[in-house]
Amino acid sequence: MASARYNKRQPPKRKLTVFKTYTRRGRGLRTDEDLPQDIFVGEIKGVVRDMRDSDGDWSSSHFRMALSNGRELDATHVNSQARYVNHTCGEPNCGWEEWEGADGKVHVAVFTVMPVKADTELTIRYHDCTQAGMEEPKAPPQQSKKGEACLCGSDNCCGLLWGPELEGP
């Protein structure tokens, strides 16, 4: 349970670096030290709102994450290191969990799901390609009405980061 791991965590003393990816993905987050499996990396902080109240702009200049119950987390204007963890359609080295805390607020925490070596980019999976019936990887499309093109570079890339077919986790 994420809340138990989150509540027991020590304040992060992880050596993490936000870096420019030199790809069209913008910035990423890497660890500067070895991290064991199942360790708290950080919390993605932002404004939680009903997706029906959203302006619908999921462009690359924004950081938005689809949550459960038709909600989204907009971390565009809240700077926490964990917001720079990029998506991969391949095998991510981190996972994320959401829960409602005793304070009534939604929290999203990032944890390692395997041991991670120093100087490795931290990645999560925003969605599962099979949600959209995408059994086979596709070449990434251009950004269009179909959604935001995925730029993860994985051999298993399903082509879309977000779009009508992909409603989030």
Measured between alpha carbons, how far is residue 62 from residues 68, 83, 154 in Å? 19, 11, 22
29: which strand partners?
A: 18
Residue 142 lies in a domain: no
Distance between CA atoms of residues 41 and 52, nearest Å: 30
| 9 located within any domain | yes
Q: Please check the confidence at residue 151 and state whether its pLDDT lies above 80.
A: yes
**Residue in this structure with the two tokens 């360790």, named with its chain if needed:** 39
pLDDT band for position 130 (50/70/90)? low
Contact 146, 80 (CB under 8 A): no
In a domain, 154, yes or no: no
Task: Copy the structure tokens of residue 115.
Answer: 């041991």
CA nearest to 69, candidates 147, 166, 148, 167: 167
Taking 50 as the threshold, does the pLDDT of residue 140 lie above it? no
Residue 32 lies in a domain: yes
Given pLDDT bands bounded at 50, 70 and 90, which one contains residue 31?
Answer: very high
Q: Is residue 7 part of a domain?
A: yes
φ/ψ (deg, to 5) at 132: -100, 15
Two structure tokens written together for 109: 């925490």
Q: Is 133 within a domain?
A: no
The answer, yes or no, to whether residue 168 has pLDDT greater than 50, is no
pLDDT tens digits, 54-111: 665 555 556 777 778 878 788 777 878 898 998 888 899 999 898 888 888 888 899 9
90 within domain boundaries: yes
- CATH code of the domain containing 61: 2.170.270.10
Domain count for the chain: 1
State the residue range of the domain holding 36: 2-127
| pLDDT value at residue 57 | 57
* More confidently predicted of 7 and 158: 158
In this structure, is residue 41 part of a structural domain? Answer: yes
